[in-house]
Chain A
Amino acid sequence: MWKRLNLGKVFVYALLIVIALSMLLPFVRVVSLSISSRVPVERNYVKFLPKEITMDSYRHVMAEKRIWQSMGVTIFVTVFGTILSIVVTSLMAYAVSRKEFKPRRGVMIFVLLTMVFQAPVIPFFLTVKSLRLLNTVWALILPLVVNAFNLVIMRSFFEETPEALIDSGRIDGCGDARLLFAIVLPTAKPVLATISLFYAVSYWNIFYNALMFIYDQALQPLQIIVRSYVETSVETPGVYLDVNYNNTTLQMATIIVATLPILLVYPFLQKYFTAGVMVGAVKE
């Protein structure tokens, strides 16, 4: 009996380890390629471990003007967008979480309907165009300000705030704005952290909207630049002969630059978004 049990366990763990490795090894390879020298990369000596370690690819990437520009755009869009999203979403979520707000049901239906009836891309594109947002950073920010799903999660968390806390606040003479910022938000830190991450990732990874709305090279976000390496990936022999990098190592270095912020922030926030947050969403 115990032997069969262990066999099953071995199988489960082996499978999980294979899956996890399939997710980790590509990153190991990206890092290794980005810090290897050109010659071993071209001779295909680099599999998962770096050869002839050099930081030249990073030096070159960081010296490129378009990388700095797009980095600036992406950071601005992410920071400003996330703040705006959190403010707008939490204001709205608070209102619809209060029982004394009469149209709360109507407002929620109004929001949830947009999840069922999604507008086609072209009218969306034309709307952004007629708002004169085309080719501005606002075209990357404003269309993503509120996510209905995030709003629903936030609302169900706000509803958990003990009514006694709200009442004591009211007795102290707090208005709704004070209640939200002094009582509800501080008790909802985990959900704030999670939703901020969700928003930040959606701004950081913005791609299709940039493809549609931005023509200027100087306004392109990082993801478009990452993609542009694939399009120019036909290796021209002799171009990189006197340097320590080539198109592949530069591409990998750019990928690292474009993912590092997420890789740094995400593990610290992970503890918040397991069961609790998602259960709130599924309840709907």
Chain B
Amino acid sequence: MVARQKRESIWGNMRRHKALYWMTLPGMLYFILFKYVPLLGSVIAFQDYQIFKGLLKSPWVGLENFIYIFQYPDFYRILGNTVKIGFAQILYGFPAPILLALLLNEVGNRKLKRCMQTVLYLPHFLSWAIIGSILFDLLSLNGVVNSVRTAFGMDPILYMQKADCFVPIVILSSIWKEMGWSAIVYLAAIAGISPELYEAAVVEGASRLKQALYITFPLLLPTITVMFLLRVGNFLNLGFEQIYVLMTPMTQSVGDILDTYVYQYGVLEGKYSMTTAIGLFKSIFGLVLMVLCNSLSKYATGRGVY
């Protein structure tokens, strides 16, 4: 009885607000076609997918694809690269925007602050293709860095071709690109802190550094926790474009990550089932990590994203 009442009211709602339902239609269609259909399509990870047979007629193989990738020695090298870069990204990349927001907060002059922000947000709007090209020039034999080295009598280094330099270049360039943009969230959180707290601190004789350490930072912690949890969920999502653009044949041994591997063997060579299994492994790994960190955070601080 209750269920029928509810259903009836939905139909009534639909009749009364027909326009609203029509308005969601294109968007819903988009999410179904480009988000949910591919999600369901992930089942080909459990198939021996053949393009001419399609999803429905391809034979099921159970966990064979997963067993294959876990027995494949290259997989561990690539997973290792991905984990290594992902870990370094969080270790160095995550604190950068927080520090930047704290620094920007110390700029009193509004005009100057706005100018700074314009410059700091700028790299976020450039594609990796462009940033990659600029980096290749800056780090080339004729580039600025090597000009400085030769001016000091040191031998030039081919940075982009050196395996040792790959991870630092990836980390530094992504900090360079996203630091300013990611700081927005923290700046917004800082803007929400009550000025009375600072006034009280000034009365007590606290310096700007002490105010930042004992007022701003602790009040930023909830935002930091949420951002951290979201970041951890994307631990293995390093972003294909950056790595693809910065990788050279000489750095492939350390630079090949899950995403570039999937592109190479999936998109280019058509090993669809195996690479989907890798993709699925990546998604599940991210999800598990996020759930784990979330419950850990709830246990420790009482805060989580859900």
- Chain A interface residues toward B at CB < 8 A: 4-5, 8-9, 12-13, 15-16, 19-20, 22-24, 26, 29-30, 33, 44, 47-48, 87-89, 91-92, 94-96, 98, 100-103, 107, 110-111, 114, 116-128, 131, 142-143, 145-146, 151, 175-177, 180, 201, 204-205, 207-208, 211-212, 223-224, 226-227, 229-230, 233, 248, 251-252, 255, 258-259, 262-263, 266-267, 270-271, 273-275, 278-279, 282
Contact = CB atoms under 8 A, between A and B. Distances in A.
Interface in B215-274: 223, 226, 233, 240-241, 244-245, 259, 262-263, 266-267, 272
A227 B136 CA distance: 11
B266 A131 contact: no
B276 interface: yes
A226 B44 CA distance: 35
22 contacts: A20-B116, A48-B144, A102-B10, A107-B24, A114-B35, A116-B287, A119-B35, A121-B259, A122-B272, A123-B279, A124-B38, A124-B41, A145-B26, A145-B30, A145-B34, A207-B127, A212-B267, A227-B245, A252-B137, A255-B130, A266-B121, A282-B226
Given A121-B279, A123-B38, A92 B188 contact: no
Contact of B103 (A15, A48, A110): A15
A255 B137 CA distance: 12
Contacts of B45: 120
Contacts of A15: 103
Interface string B37-70: 1111110110000000000000000000000000
Contacts of A92: 23-24, 26-28
A112 to B, nearest CB: 10
B293 interface: no
Contacts of B184: 273-275, 278
B120 A23 contact: yes
Instruction: Kindly list the 8 A-B residue pairs having the minimum CB-CB distance in the complex, ordered from nearest.
Output: A120-B279, A123-B41, A92-B27, A119-B38, A205-B127, A176-B19, A123-B38, A114-B35
A151 to B, nearest CB: 7
Interface in B138-154: 138, 142, 144, 147
Among A29, A120, A251, chain B packs the most CB atoms within 10 A around the CB of A120
Nearest to A262: B125
B169 interface: no
B222 to A, nearest CB: 10
Nearest to B271: A122
Contacts of B262: 120-122
B207 interface: yes
Given A100-B20, A101-B20, A123-B276, A146 B31 contact: yes
Contact of B130 (A145, A223, A271): A223
Nearest to A96: B24
Interface string B89-131: 0000000000010011011000000101111111101111110
Contacts of A151: 27
A141 to B, nearest CB: 11
Nearest to B189: A282
Contacts of B13: 100-102
B125 A201 contact: yes
Contacts of A126: 38, 41, 44, 272
Given A29-B144, A205-B126, A274-B187, 11 more contacts: A12-B106, A107-B28, A121-B267, A204-B127, A207-B127, A207-B241, A230-B136, A251-B137, A262-B126, A274-B184, A279-B188
B4 interface: no
B134 interface: yes
A23 B226 CA distance: 28
A88 B30 contact: yes
B24 A127 contact: no
B88 interface: no
A271 B115 CA distance: 11
A8 B208 contact: yes
B79 interface: no
Nearest to A279: B188
B27 A12 contact: no
B147 A44 contact: yes
Given A101-B20, A114-B35, A275 B188 contact: yes
B33 A131 contact: yes
B132 to A, nearest CB: 7
A185 B241 CA distance: 35
A4 B119 CA distance: 29
A275 B104 contact: no
B275 interface: yes
A47 B144 CA distance: 7
A175 B279 contact: no
Contact of A19 (B120, B223, B240): B120
Contacts of A114: 31, 35-36, 39
A23 B185 contact: no
